[in-house]
Amino acid sequence: MDGIDERILQELTRDGRISNLDLAERIGLSPSACLRRVAALERQGRIRGYRAILDRGAMGIGFVAYATVGLNSHTKASQEAFERAMAVAPEVVECHNITGSVEYLLRIEVTDLPAYKAFHTDVIGTLPQVNAITSYVVMGSPKDERA
């Protein structure tokens, strides 16, 4: 990776739908050289994909919370079972295995507080490997650069 590749990645992070012609112009490359570099970044796995940034409010998602989850057993089987359950839970948009006093940090997006309570109680609360859940309700997001 060189400075040109880094600038390409910055521009694509800002606008993943930018045309190759506009990207080449911003970077100062010919369109063919720019296209070759983008293709190489994709082959190398530095660009894993392109995503749309969704307006969650327009989709009826009005409640966001982070939850830390502690497991009652620190075994691989316990972790795998929990991760499988989170993989199929549409409310969980991020699941991170973390260090510290708990094992997981979740980002949960639902319509409202009653929907979160139902998810908390009926999904996470019923998993036999879960020992502790702490919820952090998002009141605002002055900076959110996730794609």
Find the CATH number of the domain harbouring 17. Answer: 1.10.10.10
The segments of the chain whose pLDDT lies below 50 read none
Pick from 13, 17, 33: which is nearest to 25 by CA? 33
* Residue 51 in domain: no
For residues 81 and 9, state if they share a domain.
Answer: no
71, 78 contact by CB (below 8 A): yes
**pLDDT on residue 52:** 85
What angle, rounded to 10 degrees, do the helices at 3-14 and 31-43 form? 90
* Residue 142 in domain: no
* Residue 10 in domain: yes
- Look at the alpha carbons of 90, 57, 66, 144 in this order and tell me if their dihedral is positive or negative: positive
d(CA 97, CA 92): 13
Q: Note down the domain range covering 79.
A: 57-137
d(CA 89, CA 123): 8
**pLDDT on residue 139:** 96
What angle, rounded to 10 degrees, do the helices at 3-14 and 20-27 form? 130
Tokens of 22: 């506009």
- Parallel, antiparallel or unpaired: strands 104-110 and 92-97: antiparallel
**pLDDT on residue 54:** 83
Number of neighbours of residue 98 by Cβ within 10 angstroms: 11
pTM of whole model > 0.85? no
